[in-house]
Every structure is written in C-alpha cells, then in structure tokens.
C-alpha cells in the first residue's frame, strides 16, 4: 500500500509559466510525528502502511513516489497592503494529485521540503513548532465545519533550523482540492500576461467551477462565487472567534478555504481589537478588521481579473463592482444568521442586531471568554432559573449579564423558545473546544521533548469540538495566565 499519484497533475498541465519544477530536499533521518488517521483512511493509507519506511520517506520528501512531478507554484500578492510582484511557494512543493475514496482529486503538498526558486532569503524549511500549529488548526477548523486546507501528517527530523532560536525541521503534508490563491491571478495581471490569466481561469472553471462553464460570462460568475465563498468563510471565522493573522492576498484561497496558517489565534476573552500576529504592529489584521480586509483583498482580485470580465475596460469595472457589492450583504447575513443560531434563536427579528451588539459590548468590557460564554448560554433557563447560571458566572460583573439577559429572556419568550430544544441546538453551533494558543503551545513543548502524544490527543479532541467529551473537560477551562505571554509572529 502506498501513495498513488496521478500520472499528470491538473495544475502541472498548465505548463511551466505557472510554476517551477523542483526537487524536495531530503529531511535527514525522518520520523513520524503525527498521522491524521481519519484523513489518511480516505486515501487508503493506514497506520501500518506508514510503518513502512518507504511511505515515511515519501511524506518527508526523501523519496519521490512514482509519477510525481514536484513543483512550486508561482504567485504574487499584496502583503500588508503592499504589492509584491513575485512570491510563490517558498517552502512548499506539490507532489501531484491524489484521489480519495470518492474519486475526488486533491493536491498533495509538502510544506518545509526545501528551497525553491521562490524561497528568496528563506531556507525552505518549516520548523516543528509551525507545522504543529498548522496541522492542529487545519483539523480543528475542519472539525468546526469551516472550509480549510487539510493536514495529513507531520514528519520530523533532528536537523537544526535557525529562527529566533535554534529549532528543528519538520515537513507537513497539506492537501486541498486546489491551492490557487488570489495572488496567482495578480502575478499575471501585473506582468501584463492576460493570456495566462485566462488559462488560469479556464483551469479553475474546468476543475473547480464546472457548473459555471456553460453559463453567461463564466469568469465573472466564478469571481462572484469567490466573493460569496470568501464572505461566508470570514463570517464563520468571526462567529467562532478565529483570527487568521496574515490575510495577505497570497494567503487567500480561490476556493474560499482557510489557507496558510501562521500566527493565527482563537479569541480567549472577547476582544474585537485582538491582534494575534506579533509582527502586525498597526493591527491591519486585527480580529474585527477581517471582514473589511476580505473586501479589500477581493478588490485586488477583481482588479487582476478585469481583463477577463469584458474587453471594454469601463464595462469590466462596472461588472466587477456589481459582483463586489455582493460581499457585504452575504457576510452580514451569514454573520447575523450565525449569531442567531449561537443564541438559540429560531426566528429573525429586527431587534436581534441590538441584542447581539449589546451582548458583545458587555463581553468586551467584562473580558468574558468568548467560547465558554456561548457554550454556557445553552444552559440558561431564563431569569426565573438559577441565578448562578454558568453563563452569568463567566461575567465578573454578573449584573451586566443579567441586564442583557432580561432582553434575551423576553426575546426567547416571543418565539416560545423551549429550553431543552434550544440547548441542544446551541450545543451544535457553539463549540466546547477550540484550539486556544496555549493548547497548541503545550503540544509543541512536549513535542520538542519528543513526546508527540499531546498532538494526537488534541487532534482527536478537536475533531469533535461540539461534543461534551467529559473526560477532557480541562481542555475547555479558562486559559492559564502564562498563555498571555505566548507571542506568535510570521517567523516560522
């Protein structure tokens, strides 16, 4: 049993203007750090197969599977608002396409497998710390039902890698139906290579938006779908309290997936100004900025795709603008619907917006834990219920909670809400477990001592974030004080 790479990958058939052929750099004496057995099984890979040295060697980049034509993708991107004309996979390479049990094709990438023509001054390596962060978060997001690239396994090595301190190298195996980014279009627009733009768009239409191919203006329709999927994605981030940290256009997926996990973070206490990336001095990618940054990034994409929308520039701009105008209403609607579900409300009412705003404002002032509060609110039984309810306990100023809860109780009464049914529905949308920074950090610190068990435990826990899992209750506790001192930056 081994990895079966398709004879020619969909992306490689675009031709070498779109990528560079590369060879992975061997990872000395690789060992398995973690295997995502649930995902592996979808590709017919079982744990005993990984015990075979040959597969371990493939997944660490030491040996090429048959048929693999490894390549690093070319792209550009707006980084922190500034256009960089050439980026590309600097420490990732794609081995090829592999087919899952349903016949669907996935791109298989090795992240950290050495230098590519796009590595600039980087070493092409990933450190164990950053691979664990990406591995756990990809799967945590998947568990939460949020579109994301997936992570199959981590292999590690004792090879030293220099960052702020000496760390060790690791390779993450990442998968997605496509890793094409907004920046993949930008590179050709700014090089004035409009035929390449069209080739890239045709590739996406053929393999990922086939339902749009026969319609009117397929490129525009595809853009409109990217607008919608991005709006939906960011609404989901906001609802679950996820901050991406580096929403550059080269980290934005054309398929609306969460892509390129770096200095991300989940909210502990509710703070709209939360900046998870230590290097983001201006707070460009602060939690509450994500919705508007999504729009800004889509505007960059629209600009790059203009030549595809219409031969007449004014018409192209007008069409792009119309499609872009779809973003805000979709995001606002998805967020409002999601918040209603988080509060266990079934009906839509005008006053819901004020109810949410008031709650979030009070949560901010009281530094209320975002995940714990919503989870606890499922148990709320109305103001007639026990005064010391779990949700009120999350507030330092319990009066602030009760002031809000008066309105909430009325609102529940208006739709004859039934406590038990509501509680069940709320537990399906308000996770009990999220990947708090300190949880990832604990797994990282143990892994540095060659104890990988915490990675597997978290992977398991976060695959079912809505389940009570009483044996793991402590993972839902408030974060310890030391967690505030964890600093995460772009360097990984």
Active site residues: 250
Instruction: Give the Å distances, CA to CA, from 312 to 99, 188, 393.
Output: 41, 19, 61
Contact of residue 256 among ligand AMP, Mg ion, none (CB under 5-8 Å per partner type): none
Dist CA 417 CA 76 (whole Å): 51
Of the pair 285, 287, the CB lying nearest ligand AMP is at 285
Of the pair 285, 475, the CB lying nearest Mg ion is at 285
Q: Tell me: does residue 251 bind ligand AMP (CB under 6 A).
A: yes
Contact of residue 427 among ligand AMP, Mg ion, none (CB under 5-8 Å per partner type): none
**By the criterion CB under 5 A, which residues form the site for Mg ion?**
251, 260
Q: Tell me: does residue 89 bind ligand AMP (CB under 6 A).
A: yes
Contact of residue 114 among Mg ion, ligand AMP, none (CB under 5-8 Å per partner type): none
Minimum distance between the CB of residue 125 and ligand AMP, rounded to whole angstroms?
Answer: 6
Three-class DSSP category at 79: strand
Dist CA 32 CA 55 (whole Å): 10
Minimum distance between the CB of residue 75 and ligand AMP, rounded to whole angstroms?
Answer: 8
Dist CA 378 CA 391 (whole Å): 8
- Vertex 180: Cα angle to 176 and 183 (nearest 5): 145
Q: Tell me: does residue 111 bind ligand AMP (CB under 6 A).
A: no
Of the pair 304, 368, the CB lying nearest ligand AMP is at 304
Name 175's bridge partners. Answer: 108, 150
Q: Tell me: does residue 262 bind ligand AMP (CB under 6 A).
A: yes
Task: Please identify which residue in 24, 124, 143, 245 interacts with ligand AMP, judged by CB under 6 A.
Answer: 124
Of the pair 81, 122, the CB lying nearest ligand AMP is at 122
Contact of residue 89 among Mg ion, ligand AMP, none (CB under 5-8 Å per partner type): ligand AMP
Minimum distance between the CB of residue 163 and Mg ion, rounded to whole angstroms?
Answer: 17
Q: Tell me: does residue 245 bind ligand AMP (CB under 6 A).
A: no
Contact of residue 123 among Mg ion, ligand AMP, none (CB under 5-8 Å per partner type): ligand AMP
Q: Tell me: does residue 85 bind ligand AMP (CB under 6 A).
A: no
Q: Tell me: does residue 125 bind ligand AMP (CB under 6 A).
A: yes
Q: Tell me: does residue 122 bind ligand AMP (CB under 6 A).
A: yes
Structure tokens at 259: 């892509």
Task: Please identify which residue in 54, 86, 119, 299 interacts with ligand AMP, judged by CB under 6 A.
Answer: 119
Contact of residue 59 among ligand AMP, Mg ion, none (CB under 5-8 Å per partner type): none
Structure tokens at 410: 């009325």
Of the pair 118, 287, the CB lying nearest Mg ion is at 118
Q: Tell me: does residue 24 bind ligand AMP (CB under 6 A).
A: no
Dist CA 39 CA 277 (whole Å): 29
Minimum distance between the CB of residue 260 and Mg ion, rounded to whole angstroms?
Answer: 4
Dist CA 318 CA 484 (whole Å): 47
Dist CA 42 CA 47 (whole Å): 12
Q: Tell me: does residue 465 bind ligand AMP (CB under 6 A).
A: no
Minimum distance between the CB of residue 247 and ligand AMP, rounded to whole angstroms?
Answer: 10
The one segment of 114-122, 322-330, 340-348, 477-485 that binds ligand AMP by CB under 6 A: 114-122
Contact of residue 61 among Mg ion, ligand AMP, none (CB under 5-8 Å per partner type): none
Q: Which of 164, 99, 98, 167 is nearest to 131 (CA)?
A: 167
Q: Which ranges of 378-475 would DSSP assign to H, the alpha helix?
A: 390-393, 398-414, 419-429, 437-448, 453-463
Q: Which of 250, 253, 243 is nearest to 277 (CA)?
A: 243
Dist CA 469 CA 433 (whole Å): 9
- Cβ pair 27, 157 in contact under 8 A: yes
Q: Tell me: does residue 90 bind ligand AMP (CB under 6 A).
A: yes
Name 248's bridge partners. Answer: none
Of the pair 177, 262, the CB lying nearest ligand AMP is at 262
DSSP states of 30-71:
-EEEEE-HHHHHTTT--HHHHHSHHHHHHHTTSSPPTT---E
Count H helices, E strands: the chain? 17, 12
Name 155's bridge partners. Answer: 32, 171
- Name the site residues for ligand AMP (rule: CB under 6 A): 87-91, 118-119, 122-125, 246, 248, 251, 260, 262, 490
């Amino acid at each position: 049993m081994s990895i079966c790479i398709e004879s020619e990958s969909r992306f490689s058939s675009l031709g070498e203007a779109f990528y560079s052929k590369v060879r992975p750099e061997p990872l000395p004496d690789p060992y398995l750090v973690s295997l995502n057995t649930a995902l592996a099984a979808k590709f017919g890979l079982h744990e005993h197969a990984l015990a075979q040295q040959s597969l371990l060697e493939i997944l660490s980049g030491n040996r090429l599977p048959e048929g693999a034509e490894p390549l690093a993708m070319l792209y550009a991107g707006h980084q922190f608002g500034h256009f960089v004309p050439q980026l590309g996979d600097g420490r990732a390479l794609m081995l090829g396409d592999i087919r899952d049990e349903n016949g669907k094709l996935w791109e298989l990438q090795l992240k950290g497998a050495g230098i590519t023509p796009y590595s600039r001054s980087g070493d092409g390596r990933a450190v164990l710390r950053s691979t664990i962060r990406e591995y756990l978060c990809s799967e945590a997001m998947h568990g939460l039902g949020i579109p994301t690239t997936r992570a199959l396994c981590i292999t590690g090595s004792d090879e030293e890698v220099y960052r702020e301190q000496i760390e060790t190298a690791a390779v993450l195996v990442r998968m997605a139906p496509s890793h094409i980014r907004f920046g993949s279009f930008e590179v050709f627009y700014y090089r004035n290579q409009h035929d390449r733009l069209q080739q890239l768009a045709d590739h996406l239409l053929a393999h990922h938006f086939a339902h749009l191919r026969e319609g009117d203006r397929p490129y525009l329709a595809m853009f409109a779908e990217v607008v919608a999927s991005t709006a939906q994605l960011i609404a989901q981030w906001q609802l679950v309290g996820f901050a991406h940290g580096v929403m550059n256009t080269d980290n934005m997926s054309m398929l609306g997936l969460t892509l390129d996990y770096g200095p991300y973070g989940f909210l502990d206490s509710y703070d709209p100004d939360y900046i998870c990336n230590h290097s983001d001095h201006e707070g460009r990618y602060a939690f509450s900025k994500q919705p508007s940054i999504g729009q800004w990034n889509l505007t960059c994409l629209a600009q790059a795709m203009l030549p595809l929308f219409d031969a007449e520039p004014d018409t192209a701009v007008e069409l792009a603008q119309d499609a872009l105008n779809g973003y805000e209403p979709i995001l606002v609607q998805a967020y409002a619907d999601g918040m209603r579900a988080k509060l266990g409300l079934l009906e839509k009412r005008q006053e819901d917006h004020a109810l949410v705003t008031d709650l979030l404002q009070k949560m901010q002032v009281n530094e209320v834990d975002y995940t714990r509060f919503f989870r606890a609110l499922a148990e709320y039984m109305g103001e007639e219920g026990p005064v010391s309810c779990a949700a009120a306990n999350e507030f330092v100023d319990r009066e602030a909670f009760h002031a809000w809860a008066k309105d909430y109780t009325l609102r529940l009464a208006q739709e004859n809400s039934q406590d038990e049914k509501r509680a069940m529905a709320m537990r399906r949308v308000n996770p009990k477990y999220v990947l708090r920074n300190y949880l990832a950090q604990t797994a990282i610190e143990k892994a540095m001592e060659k104890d990988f068990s915490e990675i597997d435990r978290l992977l398991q826990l976060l695959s079912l974030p809505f389940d009570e899992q009483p044996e793991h209750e402590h993972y839902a506790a408030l974060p310890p004080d030391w967690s505030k001192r964890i600093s995460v930056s772009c360097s990984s």
